[in-house]
Amino acid sequence: MNKYLLYRISSRINAKPRIAGFSKLACLDNLLASFPGYRMICIADHCDEETVALLSRKDFYRLEVTRLGQTPAFYHLVNRALAQLDDDDIVYFIEDDYLHVPQAGEILEEGLTVFDYVTLYDHPDKYGVFGKGRNPYVDDDRLSEPTRIFKGRRVLWRTTNSTTHSFACLVRTLREDRWVWLGKLKLRPKLQDFYDWIFLTRPGFNGGRLKAKLLLRQLGAHLAPLVGFRKRTLGVPIPSASAHLEEKYLPDGFDLKGLQRSSES
């Protein structure tokens, strides 16, 4: 078994409001430090010459310079994993705007002994206190989404219904679910992480509170076992072991300043 970081970085700037001092290269250094023993496969997509030069000095297992775009770059990494890696290998798909706690690699591996998929990011939209924009499977109160708890040796885990396109699994699981990660991508120009995850985790219909479009998607998900698709578990540690560095979506209790100081030193 080998362990891989399947990493995407771009020099393109989007309109998301970032935290003060945000740096993609600092996130990269933090990622490499938090996952010792992992092989890095880096897709430098639409990166400027300065960034490519900096990346070429890193000790990556593989560096590919591409001009694909967000969705095709993810598609490319999935194809690489399916074609070149073994079933028992661990893959962690990770984007360029996350910070991780120092023990993130060990936490991830613990989670994969229990769950089909693991996210290290406890997204705040899974809690009622998040307010407007919360996940549609969270009720109008102060409680979280419906969840199940697992007490690990390192951290406490819970199930969640969805996450971003930064997640970990065994290559075997990725191969079994390849239609979700590859087939659907061919039909759309943008990544739709939420809809991928609710197809896999099938959180239910939430008492009829879901909009018609979502209800139709969930009906399709619940018919999926008829053609061989398994319901999957997605686990997340509490507290969060990573943070997506968009101001609105920082996980509660995450020591962001401490990690930033460590990344800068």
Q: Measuring CA to CA, how many Å separate 102 from each of 30, 34, 60, 182, 242?
A: 8, 5, 19, 32, 10
- Cis peptide leading into 36, omega within 30 of 0? no
pLDDT band at 224 (very low <50, low <70, confident <90, very high): low
Strand, helix or coil for residue 116: coil
Asked if residues 123 and 167 have their Cβ atoms less than 8 Å apart, the reply is no
Full-model pTM: 0.92
**Which residues have CB under 8 Å from 12's CB, separation 6+?**
46
pLDDT band at 179 (very low <50, low <70, confident <90, very high): confident
Architecture of domain 3-264: Alpha-Beta Complex (3.90)
Find the mean pLDDT for residues 77-88: 96
Element (H, E) at 254: none
How far from chain centre, in Å, is Cα 151?
A: 22
Give residue 206's pLDDT: 62
Give residue 131's pLDDT: 73
**Which residues have CB under 8 Å from 237's CB, separation 6+?**
107, 111, 120, 122, 152, 155, 156, 157
pLDDT band at 92 (very low <50, low <70, confident <90, very high): very high
**Token code pair at residue 208:** 């009829």
Summarised one tens digit per residue, pLDDT across range 120-129 is 999 999 998 8
Say if residue 253's pLDDT is above 70: yes
Summarised one tens digit per residue, pLDDT across range 156-176 is 999 999 999 999 999 999 999
Closest by CA position to 242, among listed 31, 69, 45, 40: 31
Give residue 35's pLDDT: 98
Say if residue 262's pLDDT is above 60: yes
Asked if residues 7 and 168 have their Cβ atoms less than 8 Å apart, the reply is no
pLDDT band at 69 (very low <50, low <70, confident <90, very high): confident
Asked which of 52-66, 81-95, 173-187, 209-223 is least confident by mean pLDDT, the reply is 209-223
Give residue 247's pLDDT: 84
Summarised one tens digit per residue, pLDDT across range 6-27 is 999 999 877 677 888 889 999 9
Asked which of 3-7, 22-26, 146-150, 253-257 is least confident by mean pLDDT, the reply is 253-257
Say if residue 143's pLDDT is above 80: yes
Closest by CA position to 5, among listed 89, 72, 83, 75: 89
